[in-house]
Amino acid sequence: MIPNAPIVITAPSTPAYNTFDLDADPETVIPPTPSKGTAHLLPVDETEGVTSGAVQAPGSTAIDDSDRGTFTDDEFHDAKEEDEHIDAEEMRLIMNCGSGIPIVDGKPKPLLPPIAERHKGRKCLVLDMDETLLHSSFKLMPQHDFTVPVEIEWQWHNAYVLKRPGVEEFLRKMGEIYEVIVYTASVSKYADPVLDKVDVHKAVTHRLFRESCYNHRGNYVKDLSMLGRPLDTCIILDNSPASYLFNPTNAVPVTTWFNDPLDTELTDLIGFLTDLAPVSDVRPLLARDC
Protein backbone atom coordinates (compact mmCIF):
# COMPACT_ATOMS: atom_id res chain seq x y z
CA MET A 1 0.00 0.00 0.00
CA ILE A 2 1.18 3.55 -0.74
CA PRO A 3 1.61 5.60 2.45
CA ASN A 4 -0.94 8.36 3.09
CA ALA A 5 1.85 10.92 3.00
CA PRO A 6 3.97 9.94 0.00
CA ILE A 7 7.54 11.12 -0.20
CA VAL A 8 7.84 14.02 -2.60
CA ILE A 9 10.62 14.04 -5.16
CA THR A 10 12.02 17.50 -5.61
CA ALA A 11 13.88 18.60 -8.69
CA PRO A 12 17.46 19.85 -8.35
CA SER A 13 17.91 23.61 -8.27
CA THR A 14 20.87 23.47 -10.64
CA PRO A 15 21.44 21.52 -13.84
CA ALA A 16 24.33 19.60 -12.32
CA TYR A 17 23.74 15.85 -12.49
CA ASN A 18 25.36 13.64 -9.88
CA THR A 19 24.90 10.23 -8.36
CA PHE A 20 22.96 11.02 -5.23
CA ASP A 21 23.89 9.45 -1.91
CA LEU A 22 20.90 7.54 -0.55
CA ASP A 23 22.77 6.65 2.64
CA ALA A 24 22.91 10.32 3.57
CA ASP A 25 19.15 10.78 3.12
CA PRO A 26 17.31 7.54 2.31
CA GLU A 27 14.00 9.42 1.99
CA THR A 28 15.10 11.48 -1.00
CA VAL A 29 15.89 10.46 -4.57
CA ILE A 30 16.12 13.37 -6.99
CA PRO A 31 15.51 12.86 -10.72
CA PRO A 32 17.55 14.88 -13.20
CA THR A 33 15.94 17.79 -14.98
CA PRO A 34 15.12 16.90 -18.62
CA SER A 35 17.44 18.48 -21.14
CA LYS A 36 16.07 21.30 -23.28
CA GLY A 37 18.57 21.44 -26.12
CA THR A 38 17.09 22.08 -29.55
CA ALA A 39 20.15 22.78 -31.69
CA HIS A 40 20.70 21.07 -35.02
CA LEU A 41 17.21 19.60 -35.28
CA LEU A 42 16.03 18.00 -38.47
CA PRO A 43 13.37 19.85 -40.48
CA VAL A 44 9.80 19.15 -39.40
CA ASP A 45 8.91 17.42 -42.67
CA GLU A 46 11.63 14.85 -41.99
CA THR A 47 10.22 13.93 -38.60
CA GLU A 48 6.72 13.20 -39.84
CA GLY A 49 5.49 9.68 -40.50
CA VAL A 50 6.35 8.39 -37.05
CA THR A 51 5.89 4.62 -36.92
CA SER A 52 4.85 4.60 -33.28
CA GLY A 53 1.83 6.93 -33.37
CA ALA A 54 -0.32 4.34 -31.66
CA VAL A 55 -0.90 5.97 -28.28
CA GLN A 56 -3.67 8.54 -28.06
CA ALA A 57 -4.24 11.01 -25.27
CA PRO A 58 -6.52 9.69 -22.50
CA GLY A 59 -10.16 10.56 -23.14
CA SER A 60 -9.66 11.18 -26.85
CA THR A 61 -12.82 9.18 -27.66
CA ALA A 62 -15.00 11.01 -25.13
CA ILE A 63 -18.27 12.56 -26.23
CA ASP A 64 -19.20 16.03 -25.00
CA ASP A 65 -22.29 18.16 -25.38
CA SER A 66 -20.82 20.07 -28.32
CA ASP A 67 -21.23 16.94 -30.44
CA ARG A 68 -24.93 16.66 -29.75
CA GLY A 69 -25.96 18.05 -33.12
CA THR A 70 -24.70 14.88 -34.85
CA PHE A 71 -26.92 12.58 -32.72
CA THR A 72 -30.62 11.99 -32.27
CA ASP A 73 -31.80 12.41 -28.66
CA ASP A 74 -31.78 8.65 -28.06
CA GLU A 75 -28.38 8.20 -29.66
CA PHE A 76 -26.96 11.11 -27.68
CA HIS A 77 -28.19 9.78 -24.32
CA ASP A 78 -27.01 6.24 -25.14
CA ALA A 79 -23.59 7.63 -26.04
CA LYS A 80 -23.42 9.67 -22.83
CA GLU A 81 -24.37 6.63 -20.74
CA GLU A 82 -21.71 4.57 -22.48
CA ASP A 83 -19.15 7.31 -21.88
CA GLU A 84 -20.05 7.45 -18.19
CA HIS A 85 -19.71 3.67 -17.99
CA ILE A 86 -16.25 3.90 -19.58
CA ASP A 87 -15.25 6.65 -17.15
CA ALA A 88 -16.30 4.44 -14.21
CA GLU A 89 -14.34 1.52 -15.65
CA GLU A 90 -11.30 3.74 -16.14
CA MET A 91 -11.49 4.90 -12.52
CA ARG A 92 -11.76 1.29 -11.34
CA LEU A 93 -8.66 0.34 -13.33
CA ILE A 94 -6.73 3.30 -11.96
CA MET A 95 -7.80 2.58 -8.36
CA ASN A 96 -6.82 -1.08 -8.78
CA CYS A 97 -3.53 -0.16 -10.52
CA GLY A 98 -4.59 -2.09 -13.61
CA SER A 99 -6.61 -5.08 -14.71
CA GLY A 100 -4.43 -7.69 -12.98
CA ILE A 101 -2.80 -10.84 -14.31
CA PRO A 102 -4.78 -12.29 -17.26
CA ILE A 103 -6.67 -15.53 -16.66
CA VAL A 104 -6.43 -18.03 -19.52
CA ASP A 105 -8.33 -21.34 -19.32
CA GLY A 106 -8.94 -20.68 -15.65
CA LYS A 107 -5.25 -20.18 -14.84
CA PRO A 108 -3.27 -16.97 -14.31
CA LYS A 109 -1.01 -16.22 -17.24
CA PRO A 110 1.19 -13.17 -16.66
CA LEU A 111 2.86 -11.45 -19.60
CA LEU A 112 6.32 -12.36 -18.29
CA PRO A 113 7.71 -15.78 -17.35
CA PRO A 114 9.04 -16.34 -13.82
CA ILE A 115 12.02 -14.14 -13.10
CA ALA A 116 15.37 -15.69 -14.02
CA GLU A 117 17.72 -16.76 -11.27
CA ARG A 118 20.29 -14.13 -12.26
CA HIS A 119 17.67 -11.40 -11.82
CA LYS A 120 16.36 -12.51 -8.41
CA GLY A 121 16.23 -9.53 -6.09
CA ARG A 122 16.26 -6.99 -8.92
CA LYS A 123 13.53 -4.55 -9.77
CA CYS A 124 11.79 -4.53 -13.15
CA LEU A 125 12.60 -1.57 -15.41
CA VAL A 126 10.03 -1.18 -18.20
CA LEU A 127 11.16 0.95 -21.14
CA ASP A 128 9.11 2.47 -23.92
CA MET A 129 10.86 2.38 -27.30
CA ASP A 130 9.71 5.02 -29.80
CA GLU A 131 10.40 8.63 -28.89
CA THR A 132 11.94 7.40 -25.59
CA LEU A 133 14.91 5.32 -26.76
CA LEU A 134 14.85 6.25 -30.44
CA HIS A 135 12.87 7.86 -33.25
CA SER A 136 11.96 6.35 -36.59
CA SER A 137 10.14 7.43 -39.71
CA PHE A 138 9.21 6.02 -43.09
CA LYS A 139 10.47 9.29 -44.58
CA LEU A 140 14.15 9.44 -45.41
CA MET A 141 16.17 11.16 -42.68
CA PRO A 142 19.71 11.93 -43.92
CA GLN A 143 21.19 11.66 -40.41
CA HIS A 144 19.58 8.29 -39.62
CA ASP A 145 21.69 5.65 -37.86
CA PHE A 146 20.29 2.60 -39.64
CA THR A 147 17.33 1.35 -41.67
CA VAL A 148 15.01 -1.55 -41.02
CA PRO A 149 12.84 -3.04 -43.76
CA VAL A 150 9.23 -3.47 -42.59
CA GLU A 151 6.54 -5.41 -44.46
CA ILE A 152 3.16 -3.67 -44.45
CA GLU A 153 0.27 -5.19 -46.37
CA TRP A 154 2.61 -7.27 -48.52
CA GLN A 155 4.81 -4.31 -49.40
CA TRP A 156 8.23 -3.57 -47.98
CA HIS A 157 9.09 -0.13 -46.62
CA ASN A 158 12.27 1.19 -45.01
CA ALA A 159 12.03 2.57 -41.48
CA TYR A 160 14.81 5.11 -40.92
CA VAL A 161 15.93 5.04 -37.30
CA LEU A 162 17.72 7.63 -35.16
CA LYS A 163 19.14 6.46 -31.83
CA ARG A 164 18.68 8.77 -28.86
CA PRO A 165 22.10 9.91 -27.63
CA GLY A 166 23.50 7.56 -24.99
CA VAL A 167 20.92 4.81 -25.54
CA GLU A 168 23.38 1.92 -25.88
CA GLU A 169 25.32 2.83 -22.73
CA PHE A 170 22.05 3.49 -20.88
CA LEU A 171 20.80 -0.01 -21.73
CA ARG A 172 24.13 -1.56 -20.74
CA LYS A 173 24.13 0.13 -17.33
CA MET A 174 20.49 -0.67 -16.63
CA GLY A 175 21.02 -4.30 -17.64
CA GLU A 176 23.57 -4.61 -14.83
CA ILE A 177 21.15 -3.64 -12.05
CA TYR A 178 17.58 -4.25 -13.35
CA GLU A 179 15.51 -6.84 -15.13
CA VAL A 180 15.01 -4.72 -18.26
CA ILE A 181 11.81 -5.00 -20.30
CA VAL A 182 11.01 -3.11 -23.50
CA TYR A 183 7.24 -2.62 -23.70
CA THR A 184 6.11 -0.92 -26.89
CA ALA A 185 2.81 -0.15 -28.59
CA SER A 186 4.46 -0.88 -31.92
CA VAL A 187 4.14 -4.19 -33.74
CA SER A 188 6.82 -6.84 -33.35
CA LYS A 189 7.75 -7.05 -37.04
CA TYR A 190 8.99 -3.48 -36.78
CA ALA A 191 10.14 -3.31 -33.15
CA ASP A 192 12.07 -6.60 -33.02
CA PRO A 193 14.63 -5.80 -35.74
CA VAL A 194 15.00 -2.25 -34.39
CA LEU A 195 15.80 -3.56 -30.91
CA ASP A 196 18.25 -6.06 -32.37
CA LYS A 197 20.21 -3.09 -33.69
CA VAL A 198 19.96 -0.90 -30.59
CA ASP A 199 20.42 -3.46 -27.79
CA VAL A 200 24.01 -4.29 -28.70
CA HIS A 201 24.86 -5.37 -25.14
CA LYS A 202 21.87 -7.75 -24.88
CA ALA A 203 20.62 -5.92 -21.80
CA VAL A 204 16.91 -6.36 -22.55
CA THR A 205 15.52 -9.52 -20.98
CA HIS A 206 12.00 -9.49 -22.46
CA ARG A 207 10.18 -7.64 -25.23
CA LEU A 208 6.45 -6.91 -25.19
CA PHE A 209 4.59 -5.51 -28.19
CA ARG A 210 1.23 -4.03 -29.12
CA GLU A 211 -0.71 -7.23 -28.51
CA SER A 212 0.43 -7.15 -24.86
CA CYS A 213 -1.00 -3.67 -24.28
CA TYR A 214 -4.40 -3.11 -22.67
CA ASN A 215 -6.67 -1.49 -25.25
CA HIS A 216 -8.53 1.17 -23.31
CA ARG A 217 -10.68 3.67 -25.22
CA GLY A 218 -8.43 3.31 -28.25
CA ASN A 219 -5.27 3.83 -26.17
CA TYR A 220 -2.55 1.20 -25.91
CA VAL A 221 -1.97 1.21 -22.15
CA LYS A 222 1.02 -0.63 -20.70
CA ASP A 223 -0.63 -2.31 -17.74
CA LEU A 224 2.12 -3.18 -15.27
CA SER A 225 -0.26 -5.33 -13.21
CA MET A 226 -0.30 -7.84 -16.07
CA LEU A 227 3.47 -8.45 -15.99
CA GLY A 228 3.60 -10.85 -13.06
CA ARG A 229 6.02 -8.71 -11.07
CA PRO A 230 5.23 -6.96 -7.74
CA LEU A 231 4.13 -3.41 -8.49
CA ASP A 232 6.34 -2.00 -5.74
CA THR A 233 9.35 -3.21 -7.78
CA CYS A 234 8.25 -1.92 -11.21
CA ILE A 235 9.41 1.30 -12.88
CA ILE A 236 8.24 2.48 -16.30
CA LEU A 237 9.99 5.08 -18.46
CA ASP A 238 7.73 6.49 -21.15
CA ASN A 239 7.18 9.77 -22.96
CA SER A 240 3.39 9.30 -23.12
CA PRO A 241 1.30 9.58 -19.93
CA ALA A 242 -1.44 7.58 -21.69
CA SER A 243 0.87 4.57 -21.63
CA TYR A 244 1.05 4.42 -17.83
CA LEU A 245 -2.50 5.60 -17.17
CA PHE A 246 -3.14 2.77 -14.68
CA ASN A 247 0.24 3.03 -12.91
CA PRO A 248 1.23 6.71 -12.60
CA THR A 249 3.08 6.15 -9.32
CA ASN A 250 5.40 3.70 -11.08
CA ALA A 251 6.34 6.15 -13.82
CA VAL A 252 9.43 8.17 -14.60
CA PRO A 253 8.20 10.56 -17.32
CA VAL A 254 10.71 11.36 -20.05
CA THR A 255 10.56 14.04 -22.72
CA THR A 256 9.59 13.08 -26.24
CA TRP A 257 12.70 12.81 -28.41
CA PHE A 258 12.84 13.12 -32.19
CA ASN A 259 16.30 14.20 -33.31
CA ASP A 260 18.15 16.48 -30.88
CA PRO A 261 21.82 15.37 -30.99
CA LEU A 262 22.59 17.36 -27.82
CA ASP A 263 19.99 15.54 -25.70
CA THR A 264 21.43 13.99 -22.52
CA GLU A 265 18.30 12.71 -20.78
CA LEU A 266 19.11 9.00 -20.88
CA THR A 267 22.62 9.62 -19.61
CA ASP A 268 21.28 11.90 -16.87
CA LEU A 269 18.82 9.22 -15.73
CA ILE A 270 21.51 6.59 -15.10
CA GLY A 271 22.47 7.98 -11.69
CA PHE A 272 18.86 8.47 -10.62
CA LEU A 273 17.84 4.93 -11.58
CA THR A 274 20.96 3.49 -9.98
CA ASP A 275 20.03 5.18 -6.70
CA LEU A 276 16.41 4.04 -7.05
CA ALA A 277 17.30 0.35 -7.49
CA PRO A 278 17.73 -0.52 -3.77
CA VAL A 279 14.61 1.34 -2.57
CA SER A 280 12.10 -1.12 -1.10
CA ASP A 281 8.99 0.42 -2.73
CA VAL A 282 9.49 2.76 -5.69
CA ARG A 283 5.94 4.15 -5.73
CA PRO A 284 6.12 6.67 -2.86
CA LEU A 285 9.27 8.11 -4.41
CA LEU A 286 7.77 8.33 -7.89
CA ALA A 287 4.38 9.64 -6.77
CA ARG A 288 3.36 12.85 -8.49
CA ASP A 289 0.61 15.28 -7.54
CA CYS A 290 -2.15 15.08 -10.14
47-83 tens-digit pLDDT = 444 444 433 333 333 333 334 344 455 544 544 455 5
Share of the chain above pLDDT 70, in %: 69
Q: Is 181 a member of any domain? A: yes
Reduced to 3 states (helix: H, G, I; strand: E, B; else coil), residue 124 is strand
Cβ neighbours, 10 Å, residue 19: 10
**pTM of the predicted structure, to 2 decimals:** 0.74
Q: What is the DSSP letter of 50?
A: B
Cα distances (angstroms) measured from residue 286 to each of 31, 38, 106, 279, 290: 9, 27, 34, 11, 12
Helical axes 188-198 vs 167-177, angle rounded to 10°: 90
* Number of domains composing the chain: 1
Supply the pLDDT for residue 83: 53
| Residue-level pLDDT at 34 | 52
Write out the catalytic residue numbers.
128, 130
Tell me the CATH number at 281. Answer: 3.40.50.1000
Measured in degrees and rounded to the nearest 5, phi and psi for residue 94 equal -70, -45
With respect to residue 53, please indicate whether it lies within any of the assigned structural domains: no
Structural domain range at position 244 = 73-286
Helix (H/G/I), strand (E/B), else coil: 280? coil
The torsion of the CA quartet 112, 114, 118, 124, rounded to 10 degrees, works out to 40
| Residue among 133, 112, 261, 123 nearest 191 (CA) | 133
Nearest to 276 by CA among 98, 1, 9, 15: 9
- Sheet (strand 146-152) strand order: 134-137, 155-163, 146-152
> Which of residues 29 and 239 earns the better pLDDT score?
239
User: Do the domain assignments include residue 276?
Assistant: yes
The reply to whether 227 falls in a domain is: yes
